[in-house]
Amino acid sequence: MGAEQAGEDVFRGFLIAVLLHNEAVADRLGLRPIDVAAVILLEMRGPLPVGAISEELRLPSASATRLVDRLEKAGFARRVRGEHDRRTVTVELVEDGLDDYRALAAGARRHLDEVGARYGPEQAPLLMGMLDGIAAAYRTATGELRDA
C-alpha cells in the first residue's frame, strides 16, 4: 500500500467515524442525522431563516420545512416571526431543549480536546485551513450531486 492510498484510507476512516457518530447522536435523540446537522448549523450561525437552512444543508425547501417541523416537535428549535415584518420567520434553538444534545456531544468534544492537545498553536491554522477546505469541497460536491 502506497503513501497516497494510506492517506486516502485514513481520510475515509475519518469520514466514516464522523458519519457514524452523527448517526449515533441522532438515534439517541430520536432524530435524523440531517436534523443533528441542522442543530449544529444553528449552534454555529445562530437563528436562520428556513431558506438559509435549506441552502446551507443543500436541501429542497420542502425538506427543510419538514426538518424544522421535526426539530420543533422534539423541542430543539422554534420558529420566530420578525418584529418589524411578521412575514419574516427565523428558526432558533431552544436553550432548554438542548441538554440531551449537549450531553451527547460532550463526549466527542472531550476526545477532540485530547487530540487537539497533541498539536501546538502554530499548527492550528494549518489544521483549521485543511478542515475548512475539506468542508468546502464536500459542500461543492453535495451541490453538484443535488443539482444533477
Q: What element of type H or E holds 89? A: strand 89-93
User: pLDDT by residue for the chain (148 residues), tens digit each?
Assistant: 676 777 889 989 999 999 999 999 999 999 999 999 999 999 999 999 999 999 999 999 999 999 999 999 999 999 998 888 878 889 999 988 899 999 999 999 999 999 989 999 999 899 899 999 999 999 899 888 888 8
- DSSP, collapsed to helix, strand or coil, labels residue 100 as helix
Q: Cell digits for 136?
A: 468546502
Look up cell 438542548; give the residue.
98
Distance between start and end Cα atoms, the chain? 34
